Structure formats: structure tokens, C-alpha cells
Copies of this chain bind each other. A is one copy, B any other.
Amino acid sequence: MQPAKPAPTRFRSGRHFLQIPGPTNVPDRVLRAMDRPTIDHRGPDFARLAGEIFEGLRPVFGTEGPVIVFPSSGTGAWEAAIVNTLAPGDRVLMFETGQFATLWKRVAERLGLVVDFVPGDWRHGVDPGAVEARLAADRGGQGKAQGKAEIKAVMVVHNETSTGVTSRIPQIRQAIDRAHHGALLMVDTISSLGSIEYHHAAWGADVTIGCSQKGFMLPPGLGMNAVSDKALAAARQGGMPRSYWDWEDMLKNNASGFFPYTPATNLLYGLREALTMLHEEGLANVFARHARLAEATRCAVRAWGLEILCAEPAEYSNVLTAVMMPAGHDAEVFRAATLSRFDMSLGVGLGRLAGKVFRIGHLGDLNDLTLVGALAGVEMGLTIAGVPHRPGGTQEAMKFLCDGV
């Protein structure tokens, strides 16, 4: 079986299937909303725009407090969370749930934090028991001043985009509470927000990190921080030398609908439209839709006889599914075949998973038939790339979608 030869870009017909776990498909409504002249970011029309966005963002994060929007990638929002609240030398607790947790840890270390990085197998989420144990051990341990906690923050990735594993934030919160530990809880919701349930305030997060190109159905270019009073207090008393990422400057200007420096105006047009769409559908409906499409995907994977990377059903991601390749088969050969033959982009295996998994994104602006088309593309791709599997996964997904809801 030889791989299909790619069709040159310009000969492709029809719509590309973008089934990576972000950037996601940008709805036409959002693209059209951005396709407008840039306005004066110091004028009254802009202030109205900003006000509507802040209003619409809060329920998506699940907070009545401030949400800060940076012209940046999500990586920038990671950095913002750190430089506002922590100082070089501060100790933080992180968990190796996958590539993005590992990258965030790298950011933390580059900025001078000392990271307790709890190892993981990239198939499970954060273990709440481990959180509790680590925090409990943080007081009065060997060589430590009696009762003086060293860990300043617990930093977890809600939905690991590299593995398709969703950590259980409420349980983690409870673990921190059980340990009676005052660490800040920082949560990366980059790929979960607006797709699966999340509550910044009710779940007791101190900083929630988001971005534009996943559940918000926008192009990349906006990073976000929702912040608790506790996080704001930490920022006021400390943090690192900072300018671009400074929360206080932002909040002062945001109060009247402006920004301390030029914001990414046209992406904000798109954000307003995307928020309108999310609220029109209703967040509960959005989450139910993602749950349904995700389960259909898992039906297909099981029927193919392939293994889902996520080892714990309670932690299955409704945003993406990472699928393990049978031994001896390179995920990259398969992905290339699928791209060239069926014009579909699947997610690459990242970091230590390179070549070993492929990821099916099923988030954002997506419906049943597009998902089935994508699953068919996977199934046909497995066939033409000669990857051993049982046919019929697409059919199983269809069966689920007919029975469901």
C-alpha cells in the first residue's frame, strides 16, 4: 500500500476539514464581523464594543469579576498569570499531564519559578489526591520553618490539548481546601472554555487562562485572564517586573471601555459576535453538543479497535480525542495521507507522543454531519495508509448520533 499522492493546494475542491483541536472552524458570522474597517480605539464606538465584550465574557468564564483580554496567544496569557502574581524563586506545584502542562512548566521556569512537577503518564489528568498530599506536606516539613507554606500556586491544565484528558477541577479545589492551603489555583482552560463546563468563581479558581481560537471560534490572537480578588491582591503586592502583561493598567483602562495600548480591534469584533452565538445557543446546549459529538467519536474509535489515549473514562475530553496508533505504524504517515487524499487536518502527536498518536478535534463550530465526514476521513485514511483496524467506526458513530438526544 503506497501513500496517496497529495493534490496541489490550488486544485483542492470543497471545504477543508480542520479537525485539529484548535484553531477551530471560524463561523462565517464571525469572519464577516471581523471583515470591517478598524475603528478609533479611543472613541465612543470602541468603548461600547469593549463593554459588550466584558459583559459577554463573564458568564463564559463563570465569574462576575474581571476578565482581562490581551492581544496575544494563549501562551501570553500563561505568562500574564505568572508575572502578575508570582516572584522569581517562588515555588509552584504543577502536574505533567501532557505537552501543554510541560510547556507551561517551561514558561514558569524561564521566568524564575521553582516548579514541583509531579510526573505523569500523559494518559491521566491531575490526581486530586496528589494535590492534597503535596500541599499537606508543604507545612512543617524537613528544614522548613514551622507551618510556613512554600507553594505559592497550584497550576493545572483543565483540558490537555495534547492528550484529550480533562482534569477534574472541582475535586482539585476540594483537595486544596482539605489541605487548608492558601496557594493560588491557576487553571489553563485554553481548550476547554466555551466547549465544556467551567466555573471560575464556583470552582474557586484564582486565575483562569483562556484564548480565542478554541471554544470561542475565533482566529488566534487574544489571550485572556479571569482573576479572583485573591489573585488581584497578590498582583498588587508583588509579582515580577512587568509592563505589557500588567493587570492593573488593564483594569484601570478597561473600566471606561479602553485599553492601555492598542487592542486587537478586529479580533474583538469577532469576539463580540462569537459571544452572541454562544449565548444564542445557550452554554448548556453548547456543552451538551460537545458531549454528544465527543461520544460519537469515541464510539468510532472503539469500533475501529483502536485505543483512546485517555485511560480514565471520567476524564475523557469532550473537545478532542487522541487515538493511539497500532505499534509499528507512524501517525505522521497516516496524517499526511489523510491531508493529501482527503484534505483534512488532524492534530499531530506532540512531544513524547510524536508519531504515536493522532488527535481528532471535535470542538467549536461543528455539527453532526461534519463530524461524520471527519470520522469517515479518519477511517478511509486508516485504510489507504494501511493501518490495521476494523471497518465500521463511522457507522457506529452514525448509530449513536441517531439514537442520541
Contacts and interface: CB of A to CB of B under 8 A. Distances in A.
A368 B72 CA distance: 36
Given A23-B262, A32-B35, A264-B220, A43 B345 contact: yes
Interface string A107-144: 10011100000000000000000000000000000000
Given A11-B285, A76-B244, A398 B369 contact: no
A211 to B, nearest CB: 8
A242 B241 CA distance: 11
A372 B373 contact: yes
A9 interface: yes
A242 B13 contact: no
Contact of A376 (B88, B243, B285, B372): B372
Contacts of A395: 391-392, 394-395
Contacts of A328: none
A36 B28 contact: yes
A40 B18 contact: yes
Contact of A383 (B79, B266, B285, B402): B402
Interface string A312-355: 00000000000000000000000000010011110010000000
Interface of A: 9-18, 20, 22-26, 28, 31-32, 34-43, 45, 71-76, 79, 88, 106-107, 110-112, 211, 213, 219-221, 240-244, 246, 260-267, 280-282, 285-286, 289, 339, 342-345, 348, 365-370, 372-374, 376-377, 379-380, 383-384, 391-392, 394-395, 398, 401-402
